[in-house]
């Protein structure tokens, strides 16, 4: 079973930057489009971004477009989320996931907490 | 963007009774390319990531108890738990994968009455 482990979450001031990492236990995830999904404290799930399996294409939610950048290094089985110009409303647990269904396995990490506060 | 609306927001059901959660999408999720409705259901317990229960609107994920079932087509979908167990207390989400951006319902909190 593939394991996804997020890291990099911490407390940061508004306007600051942070880079999250998502390391996979197997290279099989390199064939997957990889998503970031976040969950604010006590709230629901919000899709953030997706990156194509070869890294050639990315799509972002309107709420983070122009501030967040997702990338991947398939040689390291790792996906990244660079978050700039952070806002208080970006406070959330950030999950990386394959968002699977059917013939695509649905893998999730345990999440990493990002807190934006002065 | 496709808007996903769940009802109710919260639900309290007695042990052994049926629980029903609804999910409505702002446009049809039926894909003629795979002849399926591109909708999944998740269960999320505190401190854990979501767990996939149902995909294709009605197919149970491997290992999911058969008391969980999904139904519906087009824009209206239902998750049913036929006989509620204590371990089913959780928040349940629907998600569409018909198009990007992926969108989730707001969640339904299921409790024991």
For residue B48, the distance in angstroms to the closest alpha carbon of chain A comes to 7
* Residue A94 and residue A48 in contact, taking contact as beta carbons nearer than 8 Å: yes
Per-residue pLDDT band for B22 (boundaries 50, 70, 90) equals very high
Q: Three-class SS of residue B45?
A: coil
For residue A47, the distance in angstroms to the closest alpha carbon of chain B comes to 6
Quick one: pLDDT at residue A8? 98
* Residue A19 and residue A82 in contact, taking contact as beta carbons nearer than 8 Å: yes
Q: What is the number of CB-based contacts under 8 A between chain A and chain B?
A: 51
Q: A63: which DSSP letter?
A: T
Residues of B with CB under 8 A from a CB of A: 36, 38, 40, 42, 44, 48-50, 52, 55-56, 59, 61, 93, 95, 97, 100-107
Quick one: pLDDT at residue B8? 97
Euclidean distance between CA atoms B68 and B59, whole angstroms: 10
Flag residues of chain A having pLDDT under 70. none
DSSP letters for A9-24: --EE-TT--EEEEEEE
pLDDT digits (tens, 9 = 90+) for B49-79: 999 999 999 999 999 999 999 999 999 999 9
Q: Does residue B30 surpass a pLDDT of 90?
A: yes
* Mean pLDDT estimate for chain B: 97
Put simply, the answer to whether A45 touches B95 (Cβ < 8 Å) is yes
* Residue A78 and residue A72 in contact, taking contact as beta carbons nearer than 8 Å: yes
Quick one: pLDDT at residue B34? 84
For residue B40, the distance in angstroms to the closest alpha carbon of chain A comes to 7
């Amino acid at each position: 079973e593939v394991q996804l482990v997020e890291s990099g979450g911490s407390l940061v001031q508004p306007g600051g930057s942070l880079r999250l990492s998502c390391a996979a236990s197997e290279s099989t995830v390199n064939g997957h489009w990889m998503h970031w999904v976040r969950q604010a404290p006590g709230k629901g799930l919000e899709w953030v971004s997706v990156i194509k399996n070869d890294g050639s294409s990315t799509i972002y939610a309107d709420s983070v477009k122009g501030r967040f950048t997702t990338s991947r290094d398939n040689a390291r089985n790792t996906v990244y989320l660079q978050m700039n110009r952070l806002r208080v409303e970006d406070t959330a647990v950030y999950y990386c996931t394959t968002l699977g269904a059917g013939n695509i396995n649905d893998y999730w990490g345990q999440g990493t907490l990002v807190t934006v506060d002065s | 963007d496709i808007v996903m609306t769940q009802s109710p927001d919260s639900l309290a059901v007695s042990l052994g009774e049926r629980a029903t959660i609804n999910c409505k999408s702002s446009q049809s999720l039926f894909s003629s390319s795979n002849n399926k409705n591109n909708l999944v259901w998740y269960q999320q317990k505190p401190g854990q990531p979501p767990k996939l229960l149902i995909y294709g609107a009605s197919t149970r994920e491997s290992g999911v108890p058969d008391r969980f079932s999904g139904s519906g087509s087009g824009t209206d979908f239902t998750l049913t738990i036929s006989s509620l167990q204590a371990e089913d207390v959780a928040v349940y989400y629907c998600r569409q994968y018909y198009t990007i951006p992926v969108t989730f319902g707001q969640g339904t909190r299921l409790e024991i009455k």
